[in-house]
Amino acid sequence: MQLLLDIQKKLLPDLLDVMVKRYRILHYIKLMQPIGRRSLSANLQLSERVLRGEVTFLKEQGLVHFATAGMSITEEGEQLFLKLEEVMKDLLGLRELENKLETELGVKQVIVVAGNSDQDTWVKREMGRACIKELKRILEPKDVVAVMGGTTLAAVAEMMQPDSRTREVVFVPARGGLGEQVENQANTISSQLARRAGAQYRLLHVPDQISQEAYASLVLEPSVKDILNLIQSACTVIHGIGDATTMASRRDSKDSFLDKLKSEEAVAEAFGYYFNRSGEPIHKQRTIGLQLDDLEEDKYVISVAGGSSKAEAIAAYMKYRPSDVLITDEAAAESLLHLFDHS
């Protein structure tokens, strides 16, 4: 396949350019359907005149459906998109990025999607789609799946669709989250995943950050103890990786703590731990839920983080604990490799 693509690049470069353009159009419609032509034109940075010709062609091929609400992809279009997906990874250079990152980060599997989630919200949805695909590949009946909070994990929940493999699964929040924005709380995300999957879920109604006295009291509560045992039994854990200062600010941390993070050069946050560039934990918040020490070999850990702004955070966290799977985007992947080239 790669040989054929290399020959086409030499002899028929225009053909490949057209294929990439039409693939991107199908891709975006699939993620954002139903979508209007004006919105599609703006997001793909194509003129409405050019886009009109392309979507008309796709409609004539039976790949796209037009309706009052907007364009959507047909079943035939869906099947063609899935066949094209692997080819496009090679054509867009994503496969090469994946292989290089697996070596540099020591991660068993890296999945790179096109785009930059710092700039385009649809890229988070594409990372979410990749995460759901990987999750369904490994799920077994009765599995417990623990999920963290955050905007990226919220996008993962949006991409879940019911499947026979998800019906007997139980989704649980990996930590407490009362106090954060509702849509980004682990409770909200785990319940949305379950509802979209036709699965079950349990909630953990405790604050994200608590005092030593409150912690000692809460963990003894029978209802809290019960859900914590269930969380500990999770065989799959899905989490994001945050920029240290951004995450601390989002949690309304005091200025003194923000100054501490700056002075100690913290760049990453995950599971309530803050890490410096060397991957060393420099601070741990007291939280109820899954801890980093709980990520034993029997747990399958999927990290989802993208955007060029997250490169340092991803690199730092992976130095501490490489995940089983890292799902990221093209911009973060290229920035990560740039970091390694200059380290």
Please give the single-letter amino acid code of residue 140.
Answer: E
d(CA 280, CA 320): 7
User: Where are the domains positioned within the chain?
Assistant: 1-91, 93-341
Considering only residues 50 and 305, tell me which one the structure prediction assigns the higher pLDDT: 305
Q: Residue 59 pLDDT more than 80?
A: yes
Mode of pairing for the β-strands spanning 236-240 and 144-147? parallel
**pLDDT score for 297:** 76
Q: Which CATH number fits domain 93-341: 3.10.105.10, 3.40.50.1360, 3.30.450.20, 3.40.190.10?
A: 3.40.50.1360
Q: Residue 247 pLDDT more than 90?
A: no
Q: Residue 248 pLDDT more than 70?
A: yes
Considering only residues 12 and 61, tell me which one the structure prediction assigns the higher pLDDT: 61
Ranked by mean pLDDT, which of 9-13, 219-223, 303-307 comes out on top?
303-307
**pLDDT score for 183:** 75
CA-nearest of 336, 247, 27 to 326 is: 336
| Confidence band, pLDDT 50/70/90 cuts, at residue 10 | low
| Confidence band, pLDDT 50/70/90 cuts, at residue 132 | very high
**For range 266-287, the mean pLDDT:** 88
**pLDDT score for 152:** 93
| Confidence band, pLDDT 50/70/90 cuts, at residue 337 | very high
Residues 6+ apart with CB under 8 A from 164: none
CA-nearest of 33, 29, 70, 63 to 46 is: 29
330 to each of 28, 96, 117, 277, 310, how far by Cα in Å?
Answer: 16, 11, 9, 21, 12
d(CA 278, CA 275): 8
Kindly give the residue spans of alpha helices, DSSP state H, lying in the chain.
Answer: 2-11, 13-32, 37-44, 48-60, 75-91, 94-105, 121-138, 151-158, 186-197, 212-218, 222-232, 244-250, 255-263, 311-320, 330-341
Q: Residue 159 pLDDT more than 90?
A: yes
In the chain, the percentage of residues whose pLDDT exceeds 90 is 45
Residues 6+ apart with CB under 8 A from 72: 29, 33, 34, 35, 64, 65
d(CA 73, CA 69): 13
CATH, range 1-91: 1.10.10.10
| Confidence band, pLDDT 50/70/90 cuts, at residue 338 | very high
**pLDDT score for 13:** 60
d(CA 58, CA 160): 26
CB of 70 closer than 8 Å to CB of 36: yes
**For range 228-248, the mean pLDDT:** 91
Q: Residue 305 pLDDT more than 60?
A: yes
d(CA 24, CA 44): 8
